[in-house]
Chain A
Amino acid sequence: MLALLRIAKLVVFISSSLFVISLLPTHSVHSQDASPSGSNLGPITVRAHDTDNDAGGSVTVEWDDPGYEKMSGFAGFLIWRTNTLTGTSDSVEVTPFGTHSYDDRSVSDDSTYSYLVAALVNSERVMSAPSMQVRSAKQWFDSRLTWVLILGLIICGAVIYFIESAKRGTKLFLRRIAGLEAIDEAVGRATEMGRPILFVAGIQDMDDVQTIAGLTILGSIARTVAEYDTKINMPVRASLVMTAARETIKHAYVTAGRPDAYNDDMVHYVTDEQFGFVAAVDGIMVRERPAACFFLGAFFAESLIMAETGNSIGAIQVAGTAMPAQLPFFVAACDYTLIGEELFAASAYLSGEPRQLGSLKGADVGKAIAMIVILVGVIATTIASAWNSESMLWIENLLRKMFSTG
């Protein structure tokens, strides 16, 4: 039965191919005198295969040009597709000069196809022989990302390993970060002066990790605030951040044993507009005169506007962001700045919890790998270019391949 079906398919395929060829106003590829300008060109060879690393529904057609592009009157290559199950044929695309491959994204994974490519020269079509039958399929793994997976697993593995070993009681050493030690000092001073603290978790929404990092630090700060009974004022630019920040502060107050002192109004929505938000925060600063300002999260151009206003009212300012372009402004105008990675590490530091600290040690493994790769890479490329060393070139190419991300 199955064999019969196959034979039937084959018959349909061959006959439909012949049908297509007979329909086209063309001459056999092999009859040389029939080529448009009488030149002596070989046949176009066509290969069709499933498109790599995709979700299915696409076939890649590739062909060699024996020289039709160079002929005057060349107008492009016509790609012709036959569905070998149904026998229907249609033209897919005419590709421009210089293109020798095409991804046909209009196929179904349930059918098989065969392709022809025709060179269009002076309204004539020089056909290739049909390609092998091909069926598109989806891949379960994007092979281009093999090195991403391997390196990612190594780093994540290191982080998880150190978290686990910290859980088992291994003592971990971490260096001090000046900006974090200043946080307690800043809250303490606000308490002494009887003035509020201002907290801004950046101007992005919850879909930015920096905002989440800011909120995790807010958790620690809010606990101190609750213990000291200081006032905290947190204007936000996005409603989701408002909801999340309220949960965070409330939790901190409960942990500190002061749930009654918590109030939803500590966090208030202002406006989603970047500079409208800045106008409001500036207003709050000069009117309420907070003793301490925290800017922890993702910031853009407003960083300096807020930090300079904070500076003008004499507040202690601690900032932290992973926006490289804004770091210089915070460094210039704030008392302490958490630079890049320090922002993400801060909450782990502040919590003092072993598992959290372990995760930082894991990230250090990643840094060690990066340093080694950069050292080896730059030295290898230098030697490779200066002395034409084969082995160094091999290392260079390996590294390029490992770290290329598509």
Chain B
Amino acid sequence: MDSAIIGTWLAALLTLGIMSFLYKDNLYYKICEAIFIGISAGLWFITYFWDSLYRIAWIGVVHEGRYVLLGGVVLGVMMLMRLFGKIGWIARWPLAFIVGATAGLKMMVYFTTNAMAQIHGTVNDTMAAFGGSGLYDVVGRIVILIGTVTGLVYFYFSKEHKGLFGGVAKVGTWFLMITFGASFGYTVMSRMSLLLGRIDFLLTDWLKLVK
């Protein structure tokens, strides 16, 4: 028996084990889950170890002389102080570094790619899809305009959703619902193809029922 045959059997048994969860939680699933957790946690640790610790930190500092990276190592070691009760508080420093960096960086990223680019896109793409002057285009433009603005009104926090403002916000929720319904409907097919891949594996590669 070569390793490919053993491998296929192993893969098939694990596939069935995970699927058995759909019926109910059971011993078979629990074993697969335990294997999954153990193997994958190990896999990620190894990946981190070689990619970050060895390649970035070790090669970077020792071989390429990028001493600026030592700062990261120092912060990383501080993180480990968590293991020693008395000076465990020092682990907050790297944590503060990370939260600060995330807040600073992401604030700018979201501002440019989400806010500015979306406002820009609303004006631009509207013209791409509905740039003409026929009824179809005019309706399209009006719908985009109303949808975007009322949607933003829904997210407006500092005014009670009552009266006219409430009505506008209500229209905003309708647009959000269309968005959710449309995204749901659009993704169904690609989700099905995942299952197709697994069942195809079981029937074709493993059981060889289908040629």
Does A touch B (CB under 8 Å) in the complex? yes
What's the minimum C-beta distance from A221 to chain B, rounded to whole angstroms? 19
Structural contact, B25 and A283, CB atoms closer than 8 A: yes
What's the minimum C-beta distance from B75 to chain A, rounded to whole angstroms? 11
Chain B contacts of A270 at CB under 8 A? 37, 41
Chain A contacts of B95 at CB under 8 A? 206, 240, 243-244, 247
A374 and B123 in contact, given A212-B102, A272-B44, A328-B180 (Cβ under 8 angstroms)? yes
Q: Which residue of A lies closest to B30 (CB)?
A: A283
Q: Which residue of A lies closest to B38 (CB)?
A: A271
Pick the residue among A272, A363, A370 that contacts B41 (CB under 8 A).
Answer: A272
Interface size class of chain B, counting residues whose CB lies under 8 Å from the partner chain: 35 or more
Structural contact, A377 and B123, CB atoms closer than 8 A: yes
In the bound assembly, the distance between CA atoms of A378 and B143 in angstroms comes to 11
A243 and B79 in contact, given A276-B36, A287-B25, A405-B113 (Cβ under 8 angstroms)? yes
In the bound assembly, the distance between CA atoms of A172 and B21 in angstroms comes to 49
Q: Which residue of A lies closest to B142 (CB)?
A: A378
A403 and B141 in contact, given A366-B115, A378-B126 (Cβ under 8 angstroms)? no
Structural contact, B41 and A345, CB atoms closer than 8 A: no
In the bound assembly, the distance between CA atoms of A283 and B26 in angstroms comes to 10
Structural contact, B157 and A378, CB atoms closer than 8 A: no
A367 and B127 in contact, given A212-B103, A282-B21, A325-B183 (Cβ under 8 angstroms)? no
A280 within 8 A of B: yes
A331 and B123 in contact, given A271-B40, A375-B145, A403-B116 (Cβ under 8 angstroms)? no
Chain A contacts of B152 at CB under 8 A? 367, 370-371
Structural contact, A148 and B116, CB atoms closer than 8 A: yes
In the bound assembly, the distance between CA atoms of A18 and B24 in angstroms comes to 86
In the bound assembly, the distance between CA atoms of A404 and B119 in angstroms comes to 9
In the bound assembly, the distance between CA atoms of A327 and B179 in angstroms comes to 10
Structural contact, A324 and B120, CB atoms closer than 8 A: no
In the bound assembly, the distance between CA atoms of A339 and B106 in angstroms comes to 19
In the bound assembly, the distance between CA atoms of A209 and B107 in angstroms comes to 9
Q: Which residue of B lies closest to A348 (CB)?
A: B157
* Stretch binding the partner chain, chosen from B5-13, B53-61, B65-73, B158-166: B158-166
Chain B contacts of A206 at CB under 8 A? 95, 98-99, 102
How would residues 33 to 53 of chain B score, 1 for a CB under 8 Å from any chain A CB and 0 otherwise?
100110111011000000000
Chain A contacts of B120 at CB under 8 A? 400, 403-405
In the bound assembly, the distance between CA atoms of A269 and B30 in angstroms comes to 18
Most A C-beta atoms less than 10 A away, residue of B37, B102, B106, B158: B158
Chain B contacts of A370 at CB under 8 A? 115, 119, 152
A173 within 8 A of B: yes
Chain A contacts of B171 at CB under 8 A? none
A378 and B122 in contact, given A148-B111, A173-B158 (Cβ under 8 angstroms)? yes
A329 within 8 A of B: yes
A396 and B123 in contact, given A172-B158, A325-B183, A364-B158 (Cβ under 8 angstroms)? yes
Most A C-beta atoms less than 10 A away, residue of B117, B153, B156: B156
Structural contact, B180 and A373, CB atoms closer than 8 A: no
A4 within 8 A of B: no
Chain A contacts of B116 at CB under 8 A? 148, 151, 403-405
A405 and B36 in contact, given A206-B99, A273-B43, A381-B123 (Cβ under 8 angstroms)? no
A382 within 8 A of B: yes
B155 within 8 A of A: yes
Q: Which residue of A lies closest to B124 (CB)?
A: A400
How would residues 372 to 399 of chain A score, 1 for a CB under 8 Å from any chain B CB and 0 otherwise?
0111011001100110000000001001
Structural contact, A271 and B91, CB atoms closer than 8 A: no
B193 within 8 A of A: no
Q: Which residue of B lies closest to A399 (CB)?
A: B123
Structural contact, A174 and B158, CB atoms closer than 8 A: yes
Structural contact, B126 and A381, CB atoms closer than 8 A: yes
Structural contact, A148 and B176, CB atoms closer than 8 A: no
In the bound assembly, the distance between CA atoms of A328 and B186 in angstroms comes to 11
Most B C-beta atoms less than 10 A away, residue of A174, A272, A340, A366: A272
What's the minimum C-beta distance from B164 to chain A, rounded to whole angstroms? 15
In the bound assembly, the distance between CA atoms of A373 and B145 in angstroms comes to 11
A71 within 8 A of B: no
What's the minimum C-beta distance from B74 to chain A, rounded to whole angstroms? 16
Chain B contacts of A276 at CB under 8 A? 36-37, 39-41
Structural contact, B102 and A209, CB atoms closer than 8 A: yes
Structural contact, A279 and B36, CB atoms closer than 8 A: yes
Chain A contacts of B110 at CB under 8 A? 209
In the bound assembly, the distance between CA atoms of A368 and B144 in angstroms comes to 17
Most B C-beta atoms less than 10 A away, residue of A273, A286, A328, A405: A328
A405 and B43 in contact, given A286-B25, A385-B127 (Cβ under 8 angstroms)? no
Chain A contacts of B32 at CB under 8 A? 279
B187 within 8 A of A: yes
Q: Which residue of A lies closest to B117 (CB)?
A: A405
A208 within 8 A of B: yes
In the bound assembly, the distance between CA atoms of A399 and B119 in angstroms comes to 9
Structural contact, A212 and B123, CB atoms closer than 8 A: no
In the bound assembly, the distance between CA atoms of A360 and B39 in angstroms comes to 44
**4 pairs of A and B residues whose beta carbons are closest in the complex:** A273-B40, A272-B44, A276-B40, A328-B180
Apart from A206-B95, A378-B144, 8 more pairs, CB < 8 Å: A175-B159, A209-B107, A209-B110, A271-B41, A279-B18, A364-B159, A367-B152, A370-B115
